[in-house]
Structure 1
């Protein structure tokens, strides 16, 4: 019974958080709603018995959202003084949200201890029930879906390069980085072997 209650709770919050992510006018608020959606999606994965995917959602996706937050800050002109001014106004809402998230974590742990939701019979499972999640996912990623996996990595690389290009700007007083000069630098030009005498100290 507790698994069904936790499932409907997490699923409802995922749908609502996704909708608020789209319709929020402030990009920072959109990122926060997206983080909430990822956390609740991780709870759904725990209920389904996919603990590895749940940890990936928390570690990889939430970490990627933090990087996305930095990109938004760099690309948009956000007045943080105005955002800090509304801290006291939203303090009660933040406390209520924190208590609710704690309640969700406790409910998810209790539902996990009660056992995973049975999504199908053993005969319909694509892999053996005795195979761990990590081994089954790795076997699929690097055999059947290897080209899609590599394509996803290439798309993420292009997105990262595009974000760097968009946020790169020349600043006055800052010496530009010469990558070619750094690559051509030899170890003997960067390191000096000295034999200082006792009590001589360091030459600056």
Structure 2
């Protein structure tokens, strides 16, 4: 197993574990901090795929703005979370039904690609490999093309 695969599994495991802790944490401040950790690991996964621009945008926009805003709103508001949790059991059957539907959809999508591998072989890569052209340069070409077209 290569170093890149090791880091992929590390980032993916921490991202999934911290995403679970976002919804499992009882304290909303801890939940926002776990959300920030999830964003950092998602940015690490973007860096592994060569999408440096998306990784930096994720960190700047989501961690720098949205997650901090969530943190300040949660800390500034005095919400009675005990009253909010009292109604959770009322909506549990609807949530379980939606979860089962999503699980069935995932099984159909993953099972469809496993049962008919010729579909997966017909998919072509729309972008050149990173060795030929970096993602940031390709994004600059797209933005320049749209800028010239607009004006």
Using structure 2 for the length normalisation, give the TM-score.
0.56
Is the aligned partner of 1:57 residue 2:70? no
Q: Distance in 1 between matches of 2:60 and 2:22?
A: 20
- Pairs within 5 Å for 1:36-47: 36-47=37-48
Q: Distance in 2 between matches of 1:61 and 1:74?
A: 20
- Hey, what does 1:73 align to over in structure 2? 75
Q: Distance in 1 between matches of 2:36 and 2:20?
A: 13
- Hey, what does 1:127 align to over in structure 2? 127
- Pairs within 5 Å for 1:120-159: 124-129=124-129, 130-134=132-136, 136-137=138-139, 139=142
Q: Distance in 2 between matches of 1:55 and 1:69?
A: 20
1:132, distance to aligned residue in structure 2 (A): 3.7
1:17, distance to aligned residue in structure 2 (A): 0.4
Name the Cα RMSD after superposition. 2.6
Unaligned runs of at least 5 residues, structure 2: 81-122, 147-151
Q: Distance in 1 between matches of 2:23 and 2:139?
A: 30
Listed one character per residue, the Cα deviations across residues 180-199 of structure 1 (whole Å, up to 9, x for unaligned) are xxxxxxxxxxxxxxxxxxxx
Q: Distance in 2 between matches of 1:42 and 1:34?
A: 12
- Hey, what does 1:22 align to over in structure 2? 23
Flag the structure with higher helix content: 2
Between structure 1 and structure 2, the one with the greater Rg is 1
Residue 26 of structure 2 aligns to a residue whose secondary structure is: coil
Count of residue correspondences: 98
